[in-house]
Structure 1
């Protein structure tokens, strides 16, 4: 379990131990906004788990009101929601390959990667020509969030394209909305109400909310688990899921051109090329 701080993870690990004392849950520290930290974490994870059957990339931030940069000088939402995950996932591919070899030999479930995204991807496509918002001059917090969530989906499609021949698939899952999560603790309901007009002005399309509009924590967990465990999802991947179902995704988040452009941009941002 990867997090910036142990105090957030320990209660979860304690709950896991209470459910089944045979399950070993281990904390690994990493800050996705610091690529040096991500690289250190990848080394530690590979030592602890040389075989990874399921990787769920679930960390994120949302609608940071003030233009904020990561350690590398990249806008913070694109950094944490996508770029840190892009690097970590690619560095863990050797462990996914080990899982694929074992699964093929034993005819068991094949490994997969799940990237948590959001229906808010409809706010904005990836701004390939100005992903860093003109050094803050063009920054709008919801558009930055939409860009990052679109990147999650494009990354899922790009990763599947490269790794399917090794029996590794990837999908993007929209867990749903919940007013009680810490993700939106800095926002008001008026801020949430800004999404529809901003999306319309930015894309020319009406923003469509997923129903039910708000979910319980258990319901939020359901769609990522479907993406991680349902054999039918792996067979159809790369896909986008919401409400536990494979759902059509906008062209901006799945077009082959955008998939490749994001992969190349991501390699540029992490300073490393990944050829499979």
Structure 2
């Protein structure tokens, strides 16, 4: 491995099946494109099939031999998640990689998923919690399988798990709500890894964050941050995808690790193992969040 890890360091992925949520654009697209180019069979799991087909065509243009399939997936609907999971379990008995990438950020006013959850918590955390649980059996049968969930430096910004009002029905704050969802992503990863390890499973759970990357998510940044400013600071999406790709493919990566950029403030740079907040490692809160997530989604893990 080179000192500054890049996509060139990814080993051959032939024979592996990778599901990437939200892979029609941004970080998810670049993650899917690189994995497909390295030989993996990539499932492009997206809400909008037209955009998904466009993404598949773009990847095929760059990598004509890429193995790709498309799966409609709406993380704002538990019914749709169950339907998608049924299809994925049937079509892909072997799942090597599940990359929980899709997400929403800083939704200006409170919106709810189809099941009534606050949009950021419901999509970023509960949707992926449900999907992972429903697909886990197909991962558990595969040596070296991994679940990689995308968090954010936002997990540190006035973030906490508000068990008294998880859905922000009393007083919505988009920054706090986003922080809660990204903190939940990390807590889910750490608790999942602990449970997998206790079971002696061949599957491991890791997390990653892209730093400050130029993607569609940035469209909801607070208005006092000028477009020109964040574009100067941000790195391109293909660079922001590298922490995810390293967590997913580096043979030296271990369960429970968290990858992010190595630059100042983890804003940009090459991917490395980074630390998360002390709060994210609170096992009591992790266990409580897990229990609540199972209750809210109706998905119980075989762990």
User: Which of residues 117, 136, 140 is equivalent to 2:173?
Assistant: 140
Q: Distance in 1 between matches of 2:220 and 2:276?
A: 29
Which structure has more helix as a fraction of its residues? 1
Write out aligned runs for 1:8-157 (5 A).
8-100=51-143, 110-123=144-157, 124-133=159-168, 135=169, 137-157=170-190
Q: Distance in 2 between matches of 1:52 and 1:145?
A: 29
Q: Distance in 2 between matches of 1:191 and 1:62?
A: 15
Residue 184 of structure 1 deviates from its aligned partner by 2.3
Aligned to 2:219: 185
User: Which of residues 254, 259, 262 is equivalent to 2:281?
Assistant: 254
Q: Distance in 1 between matches of 2:302 and 2:138?
A: 16
Structure 1 unaligned regions, length at least 5: 101-109, 194-211
TM-score, structure 2 normalization:
0.76
Residue 191 of structure 1 deviates from its aligned partner by 5.1
Q: Distance in 1 between matches of 2:81 and 2:292?
A: 18
Residue 178 of structure 1 deviates from its aligned partner by 2.5
Q: Deviations over 1:150-177 (max 9, x none)?
A: 0110111111112231111111101122
Q: Deviations over 1:90-146 (max 9, x none)?
A: 11111102223xxxxxxxxx010100110011120211222122x2x2210000000
CA RMSD of aligned residues (A): 2.0
Which consecutive segments of 4 or more residues in structure 1 shift more than 2 A?
15-24, 186-189
Secondary structure of 1:33's counterpart equals coil
* Contact 1:125–1:253 (CA under 8 A) maintained in structure 2: no
Secondary structure of 2:235's counterpart equals coil
Q: Distance in 2 between matches of 1:99 and 1:88?
A: 18
Structure 2 unaligned regions, length at least 5: 1-43, 262-270
Residue 265 of structure 1 deviates from its aligned partner by 1.2
TM-score, structure 1 normalization:
0.83
Aligned residues: 245
Write out aligned runs for 1:203-218 (5 A).
213-218=233-238
Secondary structure of 2:141's counterpart equals helix
Q: Distance in 2 between matches of 1:88 and 1:268?
A: 14
Q: Distance in 2 between matches of 1:44 and 1:22?
A: 24
Q: Does residue 242 of the first structure (1) align with residue 276 of the second (2)?
A: no
Residue 231 of structure 1 deviates from its aligned partner by 1.8
Q: Deviations over 1:54-102 (max 9, x none)?
A: 11010000011111111111111000001000000111111102223xx
